[in-house]
């Protein structure tokens, strides 16, 4: 077990630990009571001791490596070891991509070959970091990201991942991108200087969710239902203190207005995805939207509800059902000529409306093509003619936890990596497992 109370720097927790020590001393002195009293004392002591049990250190992690087509099955088993690393190879034996440290397992299945990389946790984090955050974000942002990546491993349930192969995660954005880009001097420094550090709250690893860019506010953890700690994952305004009252329930934000403008007090105001405008046409893209609704309802029937004939006929209008405190739409109704479809999941809202995209305009003036999903569900809209809607939105990703671009901008504003993490994850502290 990992006690290490003496290493905590949080004064309140140290004080609580000292009080607990005195309380234990008082309890021990009372052991001469009756047998019934002794049983109650031991029970109280057991509960107090359990409070101080930190996560056991994890030495290795098993990562399933997805094939180029996104499935778990590779067409070839060609791989070879060079030095301490294992590489995928082409049919001529030439290495492809980056090498993998640790042990490489190859499982032969009827559909192809499954590769599982068992790797030291610190080597894993070192290869997640450059894949998730560029070194241009600065050392403190990289340190914060390294701790998030490491903490994520500790927060995962043992039931998640690929249990048939005893793999906790894969190497994609389904979990964390792993070994997609080479390590750098600065990313290695960030990992080394945070070696063994994780985020904890109440002596447990936190759910260290993160995303690319906020809309100016992070989202509360309840946009995923009751899955995450909403006291930890609160909605935070990422801007200068002069506008801190935007966090107050007494000063609710009108997101219909807020998302149509650039907030000059927001730290991320100049970032590419801070604001975007997307045009969709629900007449031209009607079949694509319907097909996506039907497909996604098969996968997740509880979050896509039909009334009447559901997606039958043309879309006549779109209505906001519910918006989170941080601005993300968590429930949206599409009304068709013969029924309605209510979508109550932020990612599914993004994907379904994304099927109707015709044009995209980003905050930096760029106009990317081929976009098939909204960048976030923090948006509002104007209704045009002939099936046209103009969406005004902000941010990229689910919006919960740490904004990576927000971390970059906070770092540039002078925040340390611990300041950054404690800002995004309420009441969490950085704890050294080593």
DSSP secondary structure letter of residue 223: G
pTM of the model: 0.84
Question: Is the pLDDT assigned to residue 19 strictly greater than 70?
Answer: no
Contact 210, 403 (CB under 8 A): yes
Q: 32 to each of 17, 21, 24, 26, 72, how far by Cα in Å?
A: 25, 19, 14, 12, 62
Model confidence pLDDT, tens digit, residues 95-118 = 999 999 999 999 999 999 999 999
Question: Is the pLDDT assigned to residue 165 strictly greater than 50?
Answer: yes
User: Which of 71, 66, 64, 99 has the alpha carbon at shortest distance from 85?
Assistant: 99
350's tokens: 């993004």
281 vs 30, more confident: 281
| Residue whose pair of structure tokens reads 């200068």 in the numeric block | 240
3-state secondary structure of 396: strand
Question: Is the pLDDT assigned to residue 275 strictly greater than 70?
Answer: yes
Give DSSP secondary structure letters for 268-296: TTTSTTTSEEEEEETTTTHHHHHHHHHHH
pLDDT value, residue 240: 85
pLDDT value, residue 30: 39
pLDDT value, residue 1: 39
Mean pLDDT of the 356-376 span: 97
d(CA 241, CA 340): 43
Question: Is the pLDDT assigned to residue 37 strictly greater than 60?
Answer: no
- The rounded Cα 98 to chain-centroid distance in angstroms is 25
Could you give the percent of the chain with pLDDT greater than 70? Answer: 84
pLDDT value, residue 225: 84
User: Which of 416, 419, 406, 424 has the alpha carbon at shortest distance from 270?
Assistant: 406
Question: Is the pLDDT assigned to residue 134 strictly greater than 80?
Answer: yes
pLDDT value, residue 160: 66
User: Which of 57, 87, 89, 86 has the alpha carbon at shortest distance from 76?
Assistant: 89
Model confidence pLDDT, tens digit, residues 70-89 = 999 999 999 999 999 999 99
- Whole-number average pLDDT of the chain: 87
Mean pLDDT of the 274-299 span: 97
User: Which of 180, 186, 184, 187 has the alpha carbon at shortest distance from 98?
Assistant: 180
d(CA 290, CA 219): 28
Phi, psi of 143 (to 5 degrees): -65, -45
Long-range interactions of 390-393: CB distance < 8 A, separation 24+: 390/277, 390/278, 390/279, 391/277, 391/278, 391/279, 391/280, 391/353, 392/259, 392/260, 392/275, 392/276, 392/277, 393/215, 393/259, 393/275, 393/276, 393/277, 393/278
Geometric angle at alpha carbon 117, from 112 and 121, rounded to 5°: 155
pLDDT value, residue 39: 56
pLDDT value, residue 16: 43
Could you give the percent of the chain with pLDDT greater than 90? Answer: 79
pLDDT value, residue 28: 38
Q: Where along the chain do its domains lie? A: 5-51, 60-208+402-432, 209-399
């Amino acid at each position: 077990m990992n006690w290490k109370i003496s290493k905590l720097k949080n004064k309140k927790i140290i004080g609580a630990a000292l009080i607990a020590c005195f309380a234990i001393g008082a309890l021990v002195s009372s052991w001469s009571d009756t047998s019934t009293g002794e049983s109650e004392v031991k029970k109280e002591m057991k509960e107090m001791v359990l409070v101080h049990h930190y996560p056991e250190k994890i030495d290795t992690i098993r990562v399933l490596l997805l094939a180029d087509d996104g499935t778990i099955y590779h067409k070839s088993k060609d791989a070879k070891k060079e030095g301490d690393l294992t590489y995928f190879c082409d049919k001529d034996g030439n290495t492809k991509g980056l090498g993998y440290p640790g042990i490489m397992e190859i499982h032969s299945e009827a559909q192809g070959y499954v590769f599982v990389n068992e790797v030291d946790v610190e080597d894993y984090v070192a290869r997640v970091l450059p894949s998730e955050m560029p070194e241009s974000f600065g050392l403190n942002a990289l340190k914060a990201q390294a701790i998030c990546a490491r903490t994520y491993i500790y927060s995962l349930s043992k039931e998640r991942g690929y249990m048939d192969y005893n793999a906790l995660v894969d190497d994609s954005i389904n979990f964390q991108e792993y070994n997609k880009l080479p390590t750098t001097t600065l990313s290695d420094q960030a990992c080394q200087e945070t070696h063994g550090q994780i985020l904890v709250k109440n002596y447990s690893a936190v759910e260290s969710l993160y995303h690319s860019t906020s809309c100016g506010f992070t989202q509360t953890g309840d946009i995923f239902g009751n899955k995450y700690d909403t006291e930890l994952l609160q909605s935070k305004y990422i801007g200068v203190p002069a506008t801190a009252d935007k966090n107050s329930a007494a000063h609710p934000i009108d997101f219909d207005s807020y998302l149509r403008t650039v907030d000059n007090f927001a730290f991320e105001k100049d970032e590419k995805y801070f604001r975007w405008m997307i045009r969709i046409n629900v007449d031209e893209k009607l079949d694509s939207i319907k097909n996506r609704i039907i497909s996604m309802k098969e996968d997740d029937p509880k979050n896509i509800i039909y009334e009447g004939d559901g997606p039958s006929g043309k879309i006549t209008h779109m209505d906001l059902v519910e918006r989170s405190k941080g601005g993300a739409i968590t429930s949206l109704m599409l009304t068709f000529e013969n029924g309605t479809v209510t979508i109550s999941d932020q990612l599914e809202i993004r994907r379904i409306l994304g099927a109707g995209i015709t044009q995209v305009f980003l905050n930096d003036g760029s106009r990317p093509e081929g976009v098939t999903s909204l960048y976030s569900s923090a948006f509002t809209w104007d209704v045009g003619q002939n099936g046209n809607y103009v969406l005004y939105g902000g941010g990229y990703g689910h919006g919960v936890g740490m904004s990576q671009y927000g971390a970059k901008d906070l770092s540039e504003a002078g925040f340390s990596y611990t300041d950054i993490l404690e800002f995004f994850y309420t009441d969490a502290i950085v704890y050294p497992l080593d």
